[in-house]
Structure 1
Amino acid sequence: MTNLSATDIVGTLAALCSMASFTPQIVKIWRERDASSVSLRMYVVTVTGFMLWIAYGVLIGSWPVAASNTVCLALSGAILALKWRFGENRG
């Protein structure tokens, strides 16, 4: 049995919240087939940030940092793809 410290628990909860935070936006865009209110610039910066976090996690040998940010990259990348598919000029 693994003994988790308070730091491990807080870090795990933070990662889970970060990963889950993208789901409502994905569901909303998919249901409404509309991403016109989603900021393209914001998600380009977000995706770039997650790529850098993954690189950082790999470089310091921290698989939790790399893994959680890989999930966040996939989810924010999905929002970016939906933005391109269902953005302002789509109909």
Structure 2
Amino acid sequence: MTPSPVDLIGGAAALCSIASFAPQIFKIWRERNASSVSLKTYALTVSCFVLWTTYGLLAGVWPVALANACALVMASAVLIMKWRSGSD
């Protein structure tokens, strides 16, 4: 079964959303410094991904649920590193 153009675009969007957190994670990890990360922004981002994942699960839209659950893991990693750094 060949994926449709819509599925390809959706898959590319999901991969970009998930991968977009990797540079921030690596930067914090490498520098051991999360002072440039906004706690409020990442708290809101994590909340957003929780809601989108829940929506996907409740609506039975598995691509939405899976993509947002993966992005949730990545955004949560940044948020946890920010909390552990103790910087505001």
Query: Do 1:34 and 1:87's aligned partners in 2 also have CA atoms closer than 8 Å?
Result: no
Pairs aligned (count): 88
Identity level (%): 55
Amino acid at match of 2:70: V
Say which SS state the counterpart of residue 88 (structure 1) adopts.
coil
For 2:86 and 2:69, locate their aligned partners in 1 and report how far apart those are by CA, in whole Å: 25
> Structure 1: which 5+ runs fail to align?
none
> Structure 2: which 5+ runs fail to align?
none
Query: Do 1:38 and 1:83's aligned partners in 2 also have CA atoms closer than 8 Å?
Result: yes
Indicate the residue corresponding to 2:68 in structure 1: 69
Indicate the residue corresponding to 1:58 in structure 2: 57
Return the index of the structure with the highest Cα Rg. 1
Amino acid at match of 1:34: N
Structure 1's consecutive aligned runs of 4 or more residues displaced over 4 angstroms after TM superposition are: none
TM-score, normalization by structure 1:
0.92
For 1:82 and 1:32, locate their aligned partners in 2 and report how far apart those are by CA, in whole Å: 12
> For 1:17-32, what aligned pairs fall within 5 Å after superposition?
17-32=16-31
For 1:32 and 1:73, locate their aligned partners in 2 and report how far apart those are by CA, in whole Å: 23
